[in-house]
A and B are shown apart, each in its own frame.
Chain A
Amino acid sequence: MATLRTTNNAADVGKSKWDRVQEMDEFRLLLLAKREFVIPTTVFFVVYYFALPVLVGYAPEFMSKRVLGPVNLAYLFALSQFFVAWGIAYAYVRVARKFDKFGAHILETLKREGYDENQGGKRGL
């Protein structure tokens, strides 16, 4: 639910729709939720990806160790990158459903308060 801290009559404040969204608690929560997912995930995939060229480049003997018949660690680690990337994409799509709900709710609130979504892109109503 949106918490309405100001009067919900748009016309009397003369505030732009952008300012109105910026001050919604729900919008702050949306930004926070996105940040909480995107930043750690990005750090993780970047570190995991660059571990491959670093290990292969600087520890080739270790990475050449055979683990599954003739298949070595280097190949398995490279292959794992594909599945990790797909896994992250799946996780993001799931989390993003929540973001979409937040977004839709914010737009609904705006509409209820009498803002017109399609009016201009500029500041002011």
Chain B
Amino acid sequence: MHLDMTLVLFLSFIAVTLGITAWASRRSGSSASFFAANRQITAWQNGVAVAGDYMSAASFLGIAGLIAFFGYDGFMYSVGWLVAYLTVLLIVAEPLRNAGKYTMADVLAYRLNPRPVRAMASLSTLTVSTFYMIAQMVGAGALVTLLLKGSHISYTAAVTGVGILMIVYVVFGGMLATTWVQIIKAVLLIAGTILLSILVLAHFHFSLPEFFQAISQVSYHAPDGKLIVKDFMTPGLRFKPPYGPLELISLGMALIFGTAGLPHILVRFYTVPDAKTARHSVVWAMAIIGSFYIMTTFLGFGAATIVGRDFIAKNGGTNMSAPLLAKAIAGDVFFAFISAIAFATILAVVAGLTISASTSFAHDVWTNVIHRGVERAPGEERMVARVAAFVVGAIAIAIAIVLGPTANVAFLVALAFAVAASANLPVIVFSIYWKRFNTTGAVCGLAFGLLASILLILIGPSVMGIDAVTVFGAARHPIQHAPIFPLENPGLLSIPIGFAGALLGTFLGAKDLHSVQRFEELEVRANTGLGSEKAIAH
């Protein structure tokens, strides 16, 4: 029964979003419309879309699961996601909107030597987007098969289906369709979360004291069968010394400095008419994102107290906490609804990643690096972006299938944030605010940040580790050796390395008069909007 219901909801979401794509495809006749939705998205629309791009299945299912299993330490994850938007609001969004056109690299290329800077920035963008996408796709495949257990949809079919849909949204609907897919998904996600929170509260007779009392006595069984009763409000269930506290700080750094360097978030600010709208859209996004993460209290602790760790562990593991909670308090129909929201969440996020990756390839690599800023035929850039979206999508599908549903891919998300924080953010900030900054500094900053992030992940506990003989296949650590770097999140070390690279390169490189002059232009443009890209009327 719930299976049919879930399928019907999945299919309705697909039908609605394809309808939007068809509508958008008739309107994306120019580059500004394909890449930036004609810069006509309003503040609230963009705010909701930013929230949609940002709240991935990892947030919805992952954090609820972490709280259900580790209590307070899981909730710690929730906090950084909102605070990170202060960096976006105060430092990056407005100057970026005023100075750029389609991609993050536009801001760097404004005053620096465009070809090397764009090539490096695009490499970093493609790294962040593809790794993040692969993580989402593997998660999507595993999740869809779990949610539709009993149907005959295999992991491979699920991954391929999700991949094809995201390609269709981007190739035919461009930024306009992608934006509306995000908006619908974000509204569904918030509606589902509010409903679930109210139901959890109703379970505790709408009494917060009763709810928190239950949290202070959560019981479950240890692997050896012993009954354990714990206060789930107490910190330290997951992050234990010696490295636990450092891991928390490192994760926090990746969020606070990385969010403002995520290419798929940054491109959203090009879809609004001006810097003021960009600012207001961040505030809208913060209202939604903050409310959502506060409500993870009800989702996570609700699952811990109402469903229980034992039951979740036996029925799909941490990621199933929220759907199982829905089933426990409101039955199969609500389970189907929450599952459909999780599905919509994944689709929307991968579509956002696909468009930012393909825009960067077409605009940065193809037009500006290879053809020195000249579009040889009208519409060429758009055509290349469509092909790139197809290729990126196909590669992501293939890799996700090869890795398989049991692969441990959480580290790819950590890697994406680490690269965004260590490579992208330092050079964005220096380009906008530091007069002396030059091309050598930008290339070194991007290269150091990128390499440090990848290297530290490779020698960290996500990749290196010694598994018991009972662990098989893709779930095993790729390198069977004790980890050299102790943290899963490399931010603590890689972010300072990225900044140091940018500083070092700047001082070692020659003083660049052109860059200094163009900085004065950039400063005027970023702060007043003089000469910025305008919205296009129909």
B181 to chain A, nearest CB (A): 26
A41 to chain B, nearest CB (A): 6
B234 proximity list for chain A (CB < 8 A) = 60, 64, 72, 74
A70 to chain B, nearest CB (A): 4
> Taking A57-B239, A70-B213 as contacts, is the C-beta distance between A81 and B83 under 8 angstroms?
yes
Per the bound structure, the CA–CA distance linking A7 and B501 in Å amounts to: 45
5 A-B residue pairs with Cβ-Cβ distance under 8 Å, sorted by A, are A18-B521, A52-B79, A72-B234, A82-B82, A103-B528
A4 proximity list for chain B (CB < 8 A) = none
A40 to chain B, nearest CB (A): 11
> Taking A69-B209, A92-B90 as contacts, is the C-beta distance between A78 and B79 under 8 angstroms?
yes
Q: Is the CB of B245 within 8 A of A27?
A: no
A1 within 8 A of B: no
Q: Is the CB of A57 within 8 A of B244?
A: yes
Query: Chain A, 48-60, contact with B by CB distance < 8 Å: what is the 0/1 string?
Result: 0110111011101
A42 within 8 A of B: yes
> Taking A53-B76, A70-B233, A85-B83 as contacts, is the C-beta distance between A30 and B280 under 8 angstroms?
no
Per the bound structure, the CA–CA distance linking A92 and B278 in Å amounts to: 13
B216 proximity list for chain A (CB < 8 A) = 70
Q: Is the CB of B82 within 8 A of A85?
A: yes
> Taking A57-B244, A85-B86 as contacts, is the C-beta distance between A46 and B279 under 8 angstroms?
no
Give chain A interface residues in 75-90, CB to chain B under 8 Å: 75, 78-79, 81-82, 85-86, 88-90
- The contact of B248 among A56, A72, A103, A120, by CB within 8 Å, is A56
Q: Is the CB of A72 within 8 A of B233?
A: yes
A11 within 8 A of B: no
Q: Is the CB of A45 within 8 A of B235?
A: no
A92 proximity list for chain B (CB < 8 A) = 89-90, 279
Q: Is the CB of A31 within 8 A of B286?
A: no
Interface residues of A (CB under 8 A from B): 17-19, 21-22, 27, 30-31, 34, 38, 41-42, 45-46, 49-50, 52-54, 56-58, 60, 63-64, 69-72, 74-75, 78-79, 81-82, 85-86, 88-90, 92-93, 96, 99-100, 103, 106-107, 110, 117-118, 120-121, 123
Per the bound structure, the CA–CA distance linking A93 and B287 in Å amounts to: 13
Residue in B closest to A64 when the chains form the complex, CB atoms: B234
B121 to chain A, nearest CB (A): 19
- The contact of B530 among A31, A45, A46, A107, by CB within 8 Å, is A107
Per the bound structure, the CA–CA distance linking A107 and B528 in Å amounts to: 8
Q: Is the CB of B76 within 8 A of A85?
A: no
Residue in A closest to B78 when the chains form the complex, CB atoms: A78
Query: Chain B, 266-308, contact with A by CB distance < 8 Å: what is the 0/1 string?
Result: 0000000000100110110011001001100000000000000
- The contact of B91 among A42, A50, A75, by CB within 8 Å, is A42
B169 within 8 A of A: no
- The contact of B527 among A42, A79, A85, A103, by CB within 8 Å, is A103
Residue in A closest to B531 when the chains form the complex, CB atoms: A121
A57 proximity list for chain B (CB < 8 A) = 239, 244-246, 248-249
Per the bound structure, the CA–CA distance linking A30 and B420 in Å amounts to: 30
B398 within 8 A of A: no
> Taking A78-B79, A81-B82 as contacts, is the C-beta distance between A86 and B529 under 8 angstroms?
no
| Shortest beta-carbon contacts, A-B, top 7 | A57-B245, A53-B248, A70-B216, A18-B521, A21-B524, A103-B528, A56-B235
Q: Is the CB of A22 within 8 A of B524?
A: yes
Per the bound structure, the CA–CA distance linking A78 and B79 in Å amounts to: 7
Per the bound structure, the CA–CA distance linking A30 and B523 in Å amounts to: 11
Interface of A is mostly: helix
Q: Is the CB of B290 within 8 A of A85?
A: yes
Per the bound structure, the CA–CA distance linking A119 and B527 in Å amounts to: 18
Per the bound structure, the CA–CA distance linking A106 and B531 in Å amounts to: 13
Per the bound structure, the CA–CA distance linking A123 and B514 in Å amounts to: 11
Give chain B interface residues in 75-114, CB to chain A under 8 Å: 75-76, 78-80, 82-83, 85-87, 89-91
> Taking A21-B528, A57-B248, A58-B245 as contacts, is the C-beta distance between A49 and B83 under 8 angstroms?
yes
Q: Is the CB of A17 within 8 A of B530?
A: yes
B85 proximity list for chain A (CB < 8 A) = 85, 89
Per the bound structure, the CA–CA distance linking A117 and B279 in Å amounts to: 22
B204 within 8 A of A: no
Q: Is the CB of B294 within 8 A of A82?
A: yes
A99 proximity list for chain B (CB < 8 A) = 527
A39 to chain B, nearest CB (A): 9
Per the bound structure, the CA–CA distance linking A16 and B86 in Å amounts to: 34
Per the bound structure, the CA–CA distance linking A8 and B190 in Å amounts to: 54
B230 to chain A, nearest CB (A): 12
B282 proximity list for chain A (CB < 8 A) = 89
B406 within 8 A of A: no
Residue in B closest to A88 when the chains form the complex, CB atoms: B86
Q: Is the CB of B528 within 8 A of A79?
A: no
Interface centre among B79, B283, B286 (most CB of A within 10 A): B79
Q: Is the CB of A34 within 8 A of B527?
A: yes
Give chain B interface residues in 210-259, CB to chain A under 8 Å: 212-213, 215-216, 231, 233-236, 239, 244-246, 248-249, 251-252, 256
